[in-house]
Amino acid sequence: MENTNKTYFMPILVILAGAFFQLQAMGLLGTTSGALLEIAWPAIFIAAGLDLFFGAKRILGSAVLIFSGLAVLIFNITGGSSETWNVFINFWPLLLILFGIDMLLCGRSLAGSLLVMIFIAILVYAILGAKGVVPIPDVPLPTSSGMAKSFPITTPDPGSTPSSSQSRQIDYLLPPQANVNLRFGVNSGKLQLKSENLENRGLTGSIALASNETLSEEMSQDEFAVSYNLSSNAASEIANSEAFWNLKVSQGKQVALSLKMKNGYQIIDFRGMNFTSAEILNNSGNIDVMLPYTSQIPINLQSANGTIRIFIPQGAAVYCSYTGNNTTVTYPENYVQSGSEIYTTSTTGQVIPVNVQLSNGTIKLIEARN
């Protein structure tokens, strides 16, 4: 007896998609057909998986084909930067195993197919969690209570010789919010900040304080942004502090940076950082800044006295506007100065705006060699 429950929706949808792509390949729907076809061709695997599921009810085989098609499609769109593609690369042999099991079952056991898929999913999740690719349930960060905490970083054992510095590990989980506000108040020493792919961490690194310093931490959040406020305080001023802040912020977030230091040396690497604002202030000391490859957001630098070095990556340029009563400026040969503005004579590359306030010292524009 003929099966009257047969549906025509899926095959008609596949036929229409094929006709659309064929028209694209023939150039009848515009000049961007090549790029579209290079991205969309994995739809063949997705269509085959849907046919295997609706036609033969083979869950494992259809899941393998659909996930493979989606993974390759995501790779074509993102250029391999997607976490889904990384998972596919690490675990594609498991898909081959699943397909072999599906061939053995031939769709005869729906419950068996589901159990196998659940077991494989648990195994993959456990492996990814061990590697830090996916977050394993952890103690969440406390929500904002409006109260900051101030404490010595470490407490020495009674009778031991006091250490010249104290260390604190910074390790904040990656927040769901797209925006991160970083507010640092550094008493003295050296601070180094850069941006990296931290997977499941929003801010990480270490802070080694001087012996008479304490650290204050405050975290607050709303539905749009999470804010991290870190500041150090000292019982007395230190001429040559051994304090060292070495921090990394996640590349996947939009960062609003506000950094204030009383006395010390700052190294800020903006490459890879997606920042919405940048305010870097030194009361006294040197600042080194590596500019991003592209940005229309101005970077604001200020110091009472010292040297500010601005490193320009290859393929980028800087438009520097400065103020200062006793300030000298050096810049590359392909740059010119007009009043208090310095800019390149070349029109190629992204121009990064930088505003500098330096009362007494030197501003150096340096072309970095990658």
Compute the distance between CA of residue 132 and CA of residue 87 in angstroms, rounded to an integer: 12
Highest mean pLDDT, choosing among 114-123, 143-152, 234-243, 341-350: 341-350
Q: Is the pLDDT of residue 99 over 90?
A: no
Cα distances (Å, whole numbers) of residue 362 to 16, 298, 327, 339, 358: 66, 20, 6, 16, 8
Q: 61 or 319: which carries more pLDDT confidence?
A: 319
What average pLDDT score do residues 185-203 get?
89
Condensed to tens digits (0 to 9), the pLDDT of residues 250-268 reads 888 899 999 999 888 999 9
CB-side neighbour CA atoms (13 Å) of 63: 21
Q: Is the pLDDT of residue 310 over 90?
A: yes
With tokens 């990296």, the residue in question is 196
Compute the distance between CA of residue 292 and CA of residue 286 in angstroms, rounded to an integer: 19
199 token code pair? 């997977």
Q: Is the pLDDT of residue 2 over 80?
A: no
158, with CB counted inside 10 A (0-12, 13-18, 19+), is exposed
- The β-bridge partners of 234 are 213
Condensed to tens digits (0 to 9), the pLDDT of residues 321-346 reads 999 888 899 999 889 999 999 998 87
Condensed to tens digits (0 to 9), the pLDDT of residues 158-181 reads 333 333 447 888 888 888 888 999
Contact between 167 and 154 (Cβ < 8 Å): yes
CA-wise closest residue to 173 among 202, 208, 209: 202
Task: Enumerate the H helices of the chain as residue ranges.
Answer: 9-25, 33-40, 43-56, 59-78, 83-105, 110-131
Q: Identify the weakest region by mean pLDDT among 155-169, 184-198, 220-234.
A: 155-169
Q: Please, which residues have CB within 8 angstroms of residue 367's CB and are 6 or more apart in sequence?
A: 311, 312, 314, 332
User: What pLDDT is recorded for position 342?
Assistant: 93
Scored b (16 or more CB within 10 A) or e, 288-297 reads: bbbbbeebee
123 token code pair? 């195994």
User: What pLDDT is recorded for position 131?
Assistant: 45
Q: Is the pLDDT of residue 89 over 80?
A: no
Q: What share of the chain is helix, strand, coil (3-state, %, to 5)?
A: 30, 40, 30
What average pLDDT score do residues 176-203 get?
89
Whole-model pTM: value is: 0.56
User: What pLDDT is recorded for position 150?
Assistant: 34
Q: 266 or 5: which carries more pLDDT confidence?
A: 266
Query: Could you tell me whether strands 244-250 and 254-269 are parallel, antiparallel, or unpaired per DSSP bridges?
Result: unpaired
Compute the distance between CA of residue 103 and CA of residue 59 in angstroms, rounded to an integer: 11
167 token code pair? 């260390």
Residue type, 75: F
308, with CB counted inside 10 A (0-12, 13-18, 19+), is buried
Compute the distance between CA of residue 169 and CA of residue 180 in angstroms, rounded to an integer: 19
Q: Identify the weakest region by mean pLDDT among 16-30, 65-79, 122-136, 237-251.
A: 122-136
CA-wise closest residue to 361 among 298, 252, 270, 283: 283
The DSSP symbol for 152 reads -
163 token code pair? 């250490």
Determine the distance from the C-alpha atom of residue 102 to the mean position of all C-alpha atoms in its chain, rounded to a whole number.
Answer: 39
Return mean pLDDT, the chain: 75
Rounded to 5 degrees, what angle do the CA atoms 141, 247, 302 make?
A: 115
